[in-house]
Structure formats: C-alpha cells, structure tokens
C-alpha cells in the first residue's frame, strides 16, 4: 500500500498570526491518516490538538500529537503499529535565527514535518514494542512466546525444581 497523505498538510500558513502580533493564537486539531512525514518516515496517523501562539520571537507551537509508527517489534519481530505520543513545545523563530532549530519560512509557512520527524526518531530510538510486556522469542528455538510456549524454558527450570524437591524432603 503506497497511499499516503502528502506532508504538505503539515505546512501551515501562519501569515495571519504574524500579522496579528504577539498574543494572538490559533487552535487546530490534526486528524490525518497515513502520512509521509519525510522521505525516510511514514506514520500511520497523526492526531491531536495544536496551538500556535504568536510571540515576539516567532510562533510557539504547543500540543500533544499521537502518531502510529509501523514496524517490527524488536523483541518478537511481529509487525506492529506502536502508538507514540509526542508532546510538542517548540518555538519557530520569525524572522529565522541561527540560534533556533526551527523557523517560519520567508513565505510565512510553518512546517511541522521536521519537528515531528525529530520527535518520532527520539521516541523510537529504543525500538518499538508490540506491547510493554512482550515475551519475545525463545532464544533456544525461536518460538514466539506471546503466541505459544515451548519446552526449552521448562527444561532449564526442571533441574532446579528437582533440587528444590530434594531439599524439601
């Protein structure tokens, strides 16, 4: 499936806020399906509220976005979509400044794509998990322990249990 929404939806024209001056703000809610954020990142969805506030230094972006990252669970290798919550609090400088990581473009466009990409990269550096308590694969036989059990672990425990039985006698 190669259908996705262009990351153009993450480019917001903030001309009206720049013109309104410090103190003005604008609330919106994202609800975008499969979205290509960057060449190397497609997320399953982006949802959540975003507030844009005009400050003397530019536009402050605040919000809480939920995205779904598709990939392989690093423990059990199942295909999963992990929900990642991205708390957003970032100043987009205007006019652009060399000390600010993000800035509003000359044409008053604020592009959320680089910010979302950076946050998703941070959130997924440790790999994604199908669930918090994923049991992973058996290191001996490769059985996915979320779906079934194998005898390897039982074999490992048996001698100790045997010893314990001896002790109890």
The three-class DSSP label of residue 6 is coil
Q: Which stretch binds Zn ion (CB under 5 A): 25-33, 83-91, 97-105, 136-144?
A: 136-144
Site pattern 14..53 for Zn ion (x: CB under 5 A): ----------------------------------------
C-beta closer to Zn ion: residue 50 or 76: 76
Which of 32, 84, 93, 150 contacts Zn ion by CB under 5 A?
150
C-beta closer to Zn ion: residue 41 or 150: 150
* Under rule CB under 5 A, residue 110 binds Zn ion: no
* Under rule CB under 5 A, residue 130 binds Zn ion: yes
In order of 2, 116, 146, 164, the CA distances from 6 in angstroms are 11, 14, 36, 62
In angstroms, what is the minimal distance from the CB of 133 to Zn ion?
9
In angstroms, what is the minimal distance from the CB of 139 to Zn ion?
8
The three-class DSSP label of residue 105 is coil
In angstroms, what is the minimal distance from the CB of 144 to Zn ion?
8
* Under rule CB under 5 A, residue 137 binds Zn ion: no
Report the distance separating Cα 148 and Cα 168, nearest Å: 32
Report the distance separating Cα 120 and Cα 108, nearest Å: 25
Residues in touch with Zn ion (CB under 5 A): 73, 75-76, 130, 134, 138, 140-141, 143, 150, 152
């Amino acid at each position: 499936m190669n259908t996705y929404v262009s990351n153009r939806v993450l480019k917001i024209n903030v001309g009206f806020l720049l013109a309104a001056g410090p103190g003005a703000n604008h609330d919106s809610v994202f609800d975008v399906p499969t979205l290509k954020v960057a060449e190397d990142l497609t997320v399953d969805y982006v949802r959540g509220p975003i507030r844009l506030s005009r400050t003397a230094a530019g536009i402050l972006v605040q919000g809480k976005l939920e995205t779904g990252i598709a990939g392989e669970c690093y423990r059990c290798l199942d295909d999963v979509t992990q929900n990642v919550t991205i708390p957003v609090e970032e100043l987009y400088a205007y006019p652009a400044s060399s000390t600010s990581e993000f800035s509003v473009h000359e044409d008053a466009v604020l592009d959320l794509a680089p910010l979302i990409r950076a946050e998703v990269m941070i959130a997924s550096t440790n790999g994604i998990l199908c669930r918090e308590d994923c049991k992973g694969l058996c290191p001996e036989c490769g059985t996915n322990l979320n779906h079934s059990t194998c005898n390897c672990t039982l074999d490992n425990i048996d001698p100790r249990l045997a010893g314990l039985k001896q002790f109890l006698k």
